[in-house]
């Protein structure tokens, strides 16, 4: 029912995302597509079947990082602004606009989702933490963070990643089952590789 409308929105968003700066090696069009795919997968696993709510979730996935076109810090607010600028062309009502904005803002760290759709998009956004391609995708984020001064060097990245992996939690039952065990293995492997113990990072025993 909503597929043609979604295809039109997706095409427009991807055209905009093609203009992202090449230093955004992680927050790229590929990441957006991955989040979209994972949203669709997790929604099925979580039993989200309402067609309109699923449509809004997919739209939020497309727009969640589009704010990187204009700024790095607080990009979620910019993502919402860009979505609202496009929304009237697609006949979103005020409630739907608010729902999409809330989903986008839920991805801001630290994540604090309150609805099922928000939990799904949050888990989709960080799905890679519990996947076999963790190292490949993580290296893209390392390069981006160093390029944009989020961390100064590889040592800073390693400490940040270890702390983040330890603090992160998945919000849906399906991701907790499917991704959390693998994520914990990645955390242990990173700690072994860098000779780090949890207490050295101040994250418990």
Q: Cβ(64)–Cβ(102) under 8 Å?
A: no
Nearest residue to 9 via CA among 102, 71, 88, 122: 88
- Residue in this structure with the two tokens 């029912």, named with its chain if needed: 1
Question: What is the predicted pLDDT for the residue at 194?
Answer: 76
Give per-residue pLDDT as tens, 174-201: 999 999 999 999 999 999 887 766 555 5
Question: What is the predicted pLDDT for the residue at 193?
Answer: 83
| Cα–Cα distance for residue pair 112/54, rounded to 1 Å | 20
Question: What is the predicted pLDDT for the residue at 205?
Answer: 47
pTM score > 0.85 for this model? yes
Question: What is the predicted pLDDT for the residue at 79?
Answer: 98
| Cα–Cα distance for residue pair 9/67, rounded to 1 Å | 16
Give per-residue pLDDT as tens, 13-28: 999 999 999 999 999 9
Give per-residue pLDDT as tens, 131-172: 999 999 999 999 999 999 999 999 999 999 999 999 999 999
């Amino acid at each position: 029912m909503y597929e043609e409308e979604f295809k039109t929105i997706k095409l427009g968003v991807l055209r905009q995302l093609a203009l992202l700066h090449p230093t955004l090696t992680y927050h790229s069009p590929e990441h957006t597509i991955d989040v979209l795919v994972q949203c669709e997968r997790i929604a099925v696993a979580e039993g989200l079947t309402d067609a309109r709510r699923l449509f809004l979730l997919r739209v939020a996935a497309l727009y969640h990082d589009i704010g990187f076109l204009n700024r790095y810090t607080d990009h979620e607010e910019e993502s919402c602004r860009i979505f609202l600028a496009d929304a009237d062309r697609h006949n979103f009502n005020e409630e739907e606009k608010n729902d999409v904005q809330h989903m986008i803002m839920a991805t801001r760290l630290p994540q604090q989702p309150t609805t099922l759709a928000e939990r799904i998009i949050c888990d989709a956004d960080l799905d890679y933490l519990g996947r076999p391609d963790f190292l490949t995708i993580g290296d893209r984020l390392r390069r981006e963070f160093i390029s944009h001064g989020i961390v100064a060097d590889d040592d800073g990245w390693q400490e940040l990643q270890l702390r983040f992996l330890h603090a992160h939690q998945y919000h849906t039952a399906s991701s907790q089952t499917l991704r959390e065990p693998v994520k914990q293995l990645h955390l242990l492997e990173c700690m072994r590789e860098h000779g780090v113990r949890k207490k050295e990072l101040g994250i418990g025993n």
